[in-house]
Structure 1
Amino acid sequence: MSRLKLRSLKRSRRLSGIKLFGFVWAICLLYVLFQGGKTSIMLFVMVSLLAVYWLLSLLGTKLKTRGSRSLSTDGDRRLLQAGDQVRIKFRMEPPRFLPVPYVIVREVLKRHSGESWSFEESIVPKVRSGGELVYQTPPLERGSYSFTDTELVYEDIFGLVEHKRTVAVPGNFQVLPRTIFIPRWQLFERGLRFAGPQTQQAQSRHETTQIGGVRDYVPGDRMTRIHWNATARTGELKSKEFEHESMPNTMLILDGSAESYPHADLFELAVSTAASLLDYGGRNLIRMGLCTLNASPRIFPPELGPHQHQQMLHHLVDLLPDGQSYAEGYAFMESQSHQFRSGQLLVYISPRSLESFSGMLQFARQRQMTLYHIQIGGFNSRESGSFQKPVWPGAGIQSTHLNTLEELPAAVGGGRV
């Protein structure tokens, strides 16, 4: 309602200004007709030229203004991660005959969570090439970003008349969660009954007969390894990629209930932890899935391949801790129990302590799955000197704690501070 009142107030002011100027022009015309002389003619011509200029400015702002926007980052990386800054270049081309001394450009960048950033700067457009506005965003957090309609404010040379119009230049981009490199995960080297010895490189492990994907042909591959269907489709030699043994199917379970995260930083740490573990699984050819328990829970079954990996990462981009309660997430897992198979490794990522999720332990025991707990915050690993916490007595659960993302490689690798 306030917007409508503001618009009507501006419209009434504009009409009052037009009426006032029309009255002044009529007085000058009468002055010429009844008085005559050089002074009256000069005054009438000046007022008439000013009227023509304002009329052309008003008509010019009604014409289409072209705009374009381009994004770039330091190092020209195609994928943005949390903490990166984006360099934005907005280019506008107003009508060429429009006599505009400068234009105020207002851009608004919105995040999926509702936050917004406003950028405002004045530019001096050139007659032929238009104007260009270049600005840089602050370090961006994880999320989906989009631009609203750009507002252009024109003013005349005298600064008396202001014209506003909006230009729709759609644009959006995503910022992936921040990740950290994990060189090794002790859980897959020892301590589990199904985890055999693992070398530094995933290719040194023995292969199974289960096809896990397709890769480019490498000189020396056997004829039986060539994937003839993929070769026929692409026109290039392709080889079969087999899965490796001794690596369990892993399901990451990310707690997304609002009551579990008193601070937003805790949820960002949990998301970054899940993304870092997904990167580790992709590098080491581990069939790794993802289950997020928020208001819109979703499950990605453990699979290999870059497509599945990218889907899970992009799902984490605009994830929010908006789940109603922990019980609803547990009920969703029960309803999707066919997605959880015997022998899987469940990695539960949550600020909750071990004692508060007995239902998760019961869920894993009923399906003969191994449970691993990564607790976010709530434990001072630097004072204790170790990231690992003793296994819950009689439960067979291994646990670790994180306060910062930089602690993750040492925490899962069995390191000490």
Structure 2
Amino acid sequence: MRRWGHFLLLFLLFGGLGVLWSWRGGQTAYFLLIATAVLLLQAVGTALFSLRGVSVECGTERSRVYGGEALAVSLRIQRRPLWPVLWLLVQHTWQHSGGARVTYRQLLFPWMRADMALRYRLQGLRRGEYKSAGVELYTGDLFGLMQVKRQRAGQACFLVYPQPVETAAEWSAPYEEDAVASRSASWRDSGVIRGVRPYEAGDPLSRIHWKLTARSGGLKTKTFEPAGTERAVLWLDTSAASYSGSHVFEAAVQAVAGMVRQSLGAGSGWVQLRSSSSEASPLVVSTLEELQSAYEWLARIQPDGRTAFGDHLLRESLRLPLQLPLVLVTPLAGDALTPVLRRLRHAGRACTVLHVHGSPALTWPQRQWKRELEELGCRFADFRAGGLATASVGEAEANGGAVDGIA
């Protein structure tokens, strides 16, 4: 509650008028005493009873949406009708995983209503996770002498998927027959870990996950993707130093989402998602039913400034089978990436570079770099971020939304 100073002054005025009326009498003093008593009663009633027992329920139309779409949000406010509420300001705040906030405000006039329901829409949502940061309720008396505030914790959250965008990159690379034939005949796997299961009799010791075994107290065996179904590793550059703006990073994420959908839609093989972020574990998706898990992975990915993309790529690619082609989605060009690609190609690794940029067309240095990569045997494609409509963090619908009904 606020403005207790006004309440104290009003109380002192009421006491002074009472003394004046009892001492001198008169209709003027009596009228002022009654008027002050009414104001004092209204202020006390508003402070003590207006939002007594108030509760707020928050819900969303869907828990998953795509970037740029709108989402309907519903609020239900219930209270004990012990005192008339002349006006009520509702403020609902959403916290985006990127740090920004979206706020919705609506002014209601409930009077003696105990149950209020309103509905609004969040528009222009950007990829990421949104969590309700709480609902704030403000009310007061008619003359602004007393203001009451109540805050209720957030109860809802939703996830915004990246909008998949198709690219012109030819990134699938077939395997050589001799490379496939050189694999182990007893354990037909790709060398890419899919998961972990309890140890079974006959499992080779080389497949034991020793670290997890030590922590769990029981033998654990690593499981792998089956051989002959490999497609590629989509490697997203998430180093903050690589990007000149957030719109370029969002374009890179949308490009990866489009390539995953395009690959799984073809009905063959699998893809593994990797990033240079230390907080995102690799994810393998092999069917359209698992496409949602890829979108979830991409929705939560954020730029990470801890590791340079080139250093991370060179170190982590050594752990993958040599026959597995890499698709690198990055805005880097020139000397920042060429030495790493040269070493990968000399080792026999197939590489494709999807260069994400914000220019209307490739510049002369970028075209020179493209020819250099093609001479190394790398495939190259460019993806222009400027051609995409990028959404803001989000905003409530104009005029504060729309009230569906007040009961």
Question: Does residue 361 of the first structure (1) align with residue 341 of the second (2)?
Answer: yes
Residues in 1 aligned to 2:280 and 2:39: alpha-carbon distance in whole angstroms = 64
- Asked if the contact 1:181/1:280 (under 8 Å) is kept, the reply is yes
Cα shift at 1:276 = 1.1
Residues in 2 aligned to 1:376 and 1:154: alpha-carbon distance in whole angstroms = 50
Equivalent residue for 1:81, pick from 66, 72, 76? 66
Residues in 2 aligned to 1:23 and 1:380: alpha-carbon distance in whole angstroms = 71
Equivalent residue for 1:291, pick from 269, 274, 288? 274
Cα shift at 1:244 = 10
Letter in 2 for 1:348: L
Identity, % of aligned positions = 19
Letter in 2 for 1:375: H
Partner of 2:222: none
Question: Does residue 56 of the first structure (1) align with residue 45 of the second (2)?
Answer: yes
Cα shift at 1:145 = 1.2
Partner of 1:398: 379
- SS of the residue corresponding to residue 124 of structure 2 reads coil
Cα shift at 1:376 = 0.7
The 1:22–1:406 alpha-carbon spacing in structure 2 relative to 1, beyond 3 Å, is closer
Letter in 2 for 1:287: W
Question: Does residue 65 of the first structure (1) align with residue 47 of the second (2)?
Answer: no
- Asked if the contact 1:374/1:402 (under 8 Å) is kept, the reply is yes
1:26-45: per-residue Cα shift (whole Å, max 9, x none)?
23433554455777666544
Root-mean-square deviation (Å): 3.7
1:145-180: per-residue Cα shift (whole Å, max 9, x none)?
122222211121333322222122322211111113
Residues in 2 aligned to 1:399 and 1:143: alpha-carbon distance in whole angstroms = 29
Partner of 1:177: 162
- SS of the residue corresponding to residue 164 of structure 2 reads coil
Equivalent residue for 1:143, pick from 128, 133, 139? 128
1:307-327: per-residue Cα shift (whole Å, max 9, x none)?
754333222213222324526
Letter in 2 for 1:71: T
The 1:124–1:18 alpha-carbon spacing in structure 2 relative to 1, beyond 3 Å, is closer
Q: How does 1:4-403 map to 2 (within 5 A)?
A: 14=4, 16-34=5-23, 44-61=33-50, 63-72=52-61, 79-125=64-110, 127-180=112-165, 186-188=170-172, 192=174, 194=176, 248-285=230-267, 286-294=269-277, 296=278, 298-300=280-282, 302-305=284-287, 309-326=291-308, 330-331=311-312, 334=315, 337-338=318-319, 340-353=320-333, 355-362=335-342, 364-365=344-345, 368-377=348-357, 392-403=373-384
TM-score, length-scaled by structure 2: 0.71
1:325-367: per-residue Cα shift (whole Å, max 9, x none)?
526x5247525733x1121110001112265323432553466
- Asked if the contact 2:70/2:125 (under 8 Å) is kept, the reply is yes
- SS of the residue corresponding to residue 320 of structure 1 reads coil
Cα shift at 1:97 = 1.6
Partner of 2:212: none
Letter in 2 for 1:125: P
Query: Which ranges in structure 1 are unaligned for 5 or more consecutive residues?
Result: 1-9, 196-208, 211-242, 408-417
Q: Indicate the larger mover: 129-138 or 250-259.
A: 129-138
Cα shift at 1:80 = 0.8
Cα shift at 1:370 = 1.0
- SS of the residue corresponding to residue 262 of structure 2 reads helix
Letter in 2 for 1:364: L
Letter in 2 for 1:371: C
Residues in 2 aligned to 1:381 and 1:37: alpha-carbon distance in whole angstroms = 88
Between the two structures, name the one with larger relative contact order (CA 8 Å, sep ≥ 6): 2
The 1:108–1:172 alpha-carbon spacing in structure 2 relative to 1, beyond 3 Å, is same
Residues in 2 aligned to 1:251 and 1:347: alpha-carbon distance in whole angstroms = 6
Residues in 2 aligned to 1:44 and 1:380: alpha-carbon distance in whole angstroms = 75
1:89-128: per-residue Cα shift (whole Å, max 9, x none)?
2221233122111111122222111112222221112534
The 1:353–1:34 alpha-carbon spacing in structure 2 relative to 1, beyond 3 Å, is closer
Cα shift at 1:272 = 0.6
TM-score, length-scaled by structure 1: 0.69
- Asked if the contact 1:179/1:276 (under 8 Å) is kept, the reply is yes
- SS of the residue corresponding to residue 282 of structure 2 reads strand
- SS of the residue corresponding to residue 137 of structure 1 reads strand
The 1:325–1:112 alpha-carbon spacing in structure 2 relative to 1, beyond 3 Å, is same
The 1:375–1:160 alpha-carbon spacing in structure 2 relative to 1, beyond 3 Å, is same
The 1:22–1:356 alpha-carbon spacing in structure 2 relative to 1, beyond 3 Å, is closer
Residues in 2 aligned to 1:246 and 1:49: alpha-carbon distance in whole angstroms = 85
1:228-276: per-residue Cα shift (whole Å, max 9, x none)?
xxxxxxxxxxxxxxx9997533111111122211121111111111111
- Asked if the contact 2:80/2:114 (under 8 Å) is kept, the reply is no
Tell me how many residue pairs correspond in the alignment. 339
